[in-house]
Structure 1
Amino acid sequence: MTDFFFYGSLCHPPLLRVVLGREVRVVPACLPDHSVAWAADGAFPMIGQGGAGADGLWVPGLSEADVARLDFYEAGFAFVTREMTIETAEGPRRARAYFPEPGRWEPGAAWSLSDWVARWGEIAVATAGDFMRQMGVVPAERLWARYGMMLMRGGARVRAGHEATRLTTRRRPAPDDVAETRVRQVYANYFAVEEFDLRFRRFDGTMSPEVNRGVFLCGDATVVLPYDPVRDRVLLIEQFRMGPHARGDRCAWLLEAPAGRVDAGETPEETARREAEEEAGLALHALLPASNHYPSPAAMGEYLYTYIGLADLPDDAAGLGGLLTEAEDIRAHVLPFERLMEMVETGEVNTGPLIVLAYWLDRNRARLRAEAGA
């Protein structure tokens, strides 16, 4: 049996429970002459020598299987364990603790567990569940290579759990309406594909036979159409897209609204403002929620948050943009609103989110122009 001292995110009981796969006894403890800081440019803590003492938890009596689960989860942080003497209400104890490899991470501000829980707690717990299910299936190094994308999916799962959909016609689900037999990840790189063996409640009240279904997982995304209600103009971006190219479309350069994945720890609104700045160099005045939706629910877990972004769009708002670090090559177009609707009708605009936003704006445009004094 091995005793451990935890000083950071594993002091959050729901996360510790998911990582270990069971409940354990925990005792408040402190490691003298040490302190805990946020890792610079990271959403996790690191411990270092010096300071008034690092508060945390002593967890005694962990088995070899427990330690293997901990090592699997901690692999991506480049931490190593050291045996230290800690102080507990039951007296001094020897316990192992995870320390960063020398020079791997730089310390930032003083660590706050409550701040971490408020912003990252639910996402980290949801992601840890996905992560630990791959133990013994996928090496930890491969998982950590795409951990950022896994956090995006964790964030999507948390948002989906909190959103309340008004149901007037659709079925009201019960807890036992879906029974999963097996879930496995069959592909994972930037995106992932998972297969489910499950049964679901039929409309006659019976359960369906077991079916196998694959889902393409890519996290939630935000789409924002910049609109200048005074000049009655929109801004569209044009870029090369792999989907049309793989389909065999000879013109794989599409007109779209600025869009991007909702990063972990980020709100959809923050994503909209960030993407407008990165892809078009725009600072949006206001965000107007439009129609959130699943673009292809039969096979994709993607969910889109869509907005109209009020902005100033003078003639020189068009130009070239995008992030070189993401191999983006983007051209922005500033067009009259009526030109947008013409291209929707002719099919030159053929991306679903932009079409949805164009029709939403068409329905609300007169009101927005009146409010802007146009």
Structure 2
Amino acid sequence: MNNRVKELSTEILSDNWSILKKAIYQYQQNDGRWQTHVREAYDRGNGVAMLLYNKEQGTVILTRQFRLPTYVNGNEDGMLIEVCAGKLDSNNPEECAKREVEEETGFKITHIQKVMEAYTSPGSVTEMLYLFVAEYNAGMKVHAGGGVAHEQEEIEVLEVTLEQAMEMIVTGEIKDAKTIMLLQYAKLNQLMG
């Protein structure tokens, strides 16, 4: 418990797709003074993301799908290139990551490595992402991927070299933070050998 925070009130503003709360609280400054703050926090739950890489081929698996918030913020067609990701709807991030990868890409992965945890936008969103990497090969492909219909997913599966993916960051084709973090992790840790 943080002794520098005194919660005064919390109000639910929306409980539709996720929960949007308005909080009024007091925060003690370094000089001892208390200030009252009014903030909103969007709670969509935590999530997982995984980069699949093929060491022999030097390739990675990415996805492309429509993302409304990017469209609203000026992304002309709303399409975003990302690593596989999903909402953590169980207590086991590893199992959730494996399931999301199979649904989205069609690859059935057994061995994964957790590489980091990160808050996505801590100024307004409560979400913590659990980030993983895993090796893949053609023999692990069990179906075409593309997401699940009941979640209204229509996902294109992309296989590109790590070098192409890194160039896509430079050109702005990849703008998703979790994807950039995992691609940079792969490059910095020389996952391609």
* TM-score grouping bracket, smaller chain normalisation: over 0.9
Q: Is 1:267 aligned to 2:92, yes or no? A: yes
Map 1:258-297 to 2 at 5 A: 258-264=84-90, 266-297=91-122
Contact 1:321/1:332 (<8 A) preserved: yes
Alpha-carbon distance in structure 2 between the residues aligned to 1:369 and 1:176: 46
TM-score, with normalisation over the residues of structure 2?
Answer: 0.92
2:164 alignment partner AA: R
The answer to which structure has the higher helix fraction is 1
Indicate the residue corresponding to 1:250 in structure 2.
76
Q: Is 1:176 aligned to 2:9, yes or no? A: no
1:276 alignment partner AA: V
Indicate the residue corresponding to 2:56 in structure 1.
230
Indicate the residue corresponding to 1:209 in structure 2.
35
CA 344–317 in structure 1, closer or farther in 2 if over 3 Å, else same: farther
Q: Percent identity, please.
A: 27
Q: Which runs of 5+ in 2 are unaligned?
A: none
Q: Is 1:241 aligned to 2:53, yes or no? A: no
- Report how far residue 218 of structure 1 moved: 0.4
Alpha-carbon distance in structure 1 between the residues aligned to 2:167 and 2:19: 37
The answer to which structure has the higher strand fraction is 2
Q: Is 1:197 aligned to 2:17, yes or no? A: no
Alpha-carbon distance in structure 1 between the residues aligned to 2:138 and 2:24: 50
Secondary structure at 2:158 match in 1: strand
Which one of the candidate residues 309, 315, 325 is aligned to 2:150? Answer: 325
Which one of the candidate residues 218, 226, 231 is aligned to 2:44? Answer: 218
TM-score, with normalisation over the residues of structure 1?
Answer: 0.49
Which one of the candidate residues 9, 12, 15 is aligned to 1:188? Answer: 15
Aligned residues: 192
Alpha-carbon distance in structure 2 between the residues aligned to 1:200 and 1:244: 33
Contact 1:237/1:331 (<8 A) preserved: yes
- Report how far residue 254 of structure 1 moved: 0.8
- Report how far residue 360 of structure 1 moved: 0.5
- Report how far residue 356 of structure 1 moved: 0.4
Contact 1:286/1:311 (<8 A) preserved: no
CA 328–308 in structure 1, closer or farther in 2 if over 3 Å, else same: same
Q: Give the 4+ runs in structure 1 shifted more than 6 A.
A: none
Contact 2:107/2:145 (<8 A) preserved: no
- Report how far residue 176 of structure 1 moved: 1.6
Contact 1:318/1:331 (<8 A) preserved: no
- Report how far residue 190 of structure 1 moved: 2.1
Larger radius of gyration: 1
Secondary structure at 1:273 match in 2: helix
Higher RCO (C-alpha under 8 Å, 6+ residues apart): 2
Q: Which runs of 5+ in 1 are unaligned?
A: 1-173
Contact 1:225/1:234 (<8 A) preserved: yes
